[in-house]
Structure 1
């Protein structure tokens, strides 16, 4: 979002590895902590400056919730794919076991039919004693081998069944976390409606002052970028520019609407580069550089938690999806505190 003017502590660059469940739980907990679900919408403060600050807070809260939702949604999709692969593997293993059981059953029946005759007598009665011995030896070996394979397949089936059960439990837990974030999203949407009412309550002069503040920032201190821009960065930048004017949409990653990280993910996808879904993950998707080294195509993350992200376009500006109600647009790179710059 481009409306935050409060200073923030410098962001850190640590990337923490966590399990799927603990990450989803932490995401939901952080989102809930940011804005309690039961919080009642506040009335318009008496001073326009306080009204603008309240609108800023609500927009910032909404974006954090959106990124939390995106993270849970992405993890759920990945786990669902894992469960699908596990089920397919189990089905293939079961099919192989059924085939082996059929073969062993046929062999058992054949042995049973011959089992009443003493092998020595069969040998004496055989017109081809050497051939009989060869067939008997082969039958024994095949039976032993197939019995071993059946045991192995049964073990594999049990292992796959355990994996499927574990994946199912994990998916259920993740779906619960996703539901928590979705409920939080609905709560923040209610707060956004309050923000829109607050915004509409401003006079024309106050509204213009708010818009100037939301699009303000320090454009000084940014030298001309050094070095050539890569072809993938140029392609991603062209895609991002083509999205200017399209609406901000909750949880969307194009092509008709975007949230902040959805825009950068979609833009780099047009250049053949896969980025993670959330702004927090995207900040670690490449090499981090200083703001003084920023080049067109670099990703610029904002706030100490990297809950907002845009793409640098040059001339001290970024292109980004600001917040609900504001379309994809250009704003000064210094519109809010920068936490990191990432070169893909």
Structure 2
């Protein structure tokens, strides 16, 4: 091949390559794929729920501590009521025993508390002596028993009063813990945002949920991520999370739900949280109209049944509900519908 033709061919190949490369470089960029209903797992520290891992940890700790203290307070109040009833009954018995002892003392005074020898001197026959001695023994025995019962009842009254005082101290302690946990949650939220918040308007949250199982002392049992997540997230959740999910469905909230997520902060990786889409077709843009009403009603359902479902917090439409503080403003990290929670209701349970 002649050098001139070879050079021309090389130049042509270079031009073709440049044209292809430039063509690819300036080709229109395809639009980003829509976020599927089952969102991708977040990397650690990149939580699509918004906020920060530190904020979520503070809210979890504050709500757990508040619920634990509230349960202890409720238990103490019940114990105090029971002790008050016992004290009332014991004081009634004490008054009755005091009257009886007074009557026996009067009887002993009238009979002179004679010994067997004096009874024999004052009785004309052996049979009279035996009758009088037996009567005196009976009076003495009754009086001794009445005195013992009187002392026992007085001791029981003193113990009951002390127990009531102990419960009052316990209640003050738990109230202080609840106040501290409330401040902890509100300080964390104040650091994150400063906007005021109002409760979402709702008319559909009045349905009563069946209560989740508790321990015999009223506390919530410790649960792990041990049951299959029935949502498309295909992970694991706790039995209590499954209970809340099923109760929401039973109340008529049957739109798309996703629970388990392996990455990020908060309760999703622990199987203790679910995201309930406000729209019928999954997570989309900010909910409006009937979709927003659906979200309002669902959020109200969880709030109204918080004690039955062990709710730690509910997030919906840039607001968060805490058992200690009610509705507060909640700022998302990126301002999108997911982190602002304008397209789904987030539920976290104990």
Shorter-chain TM range is 0.3 to 0.5
Larger Rg: 2
TM-score by length of 2: 0.47
Higher helix share: 1
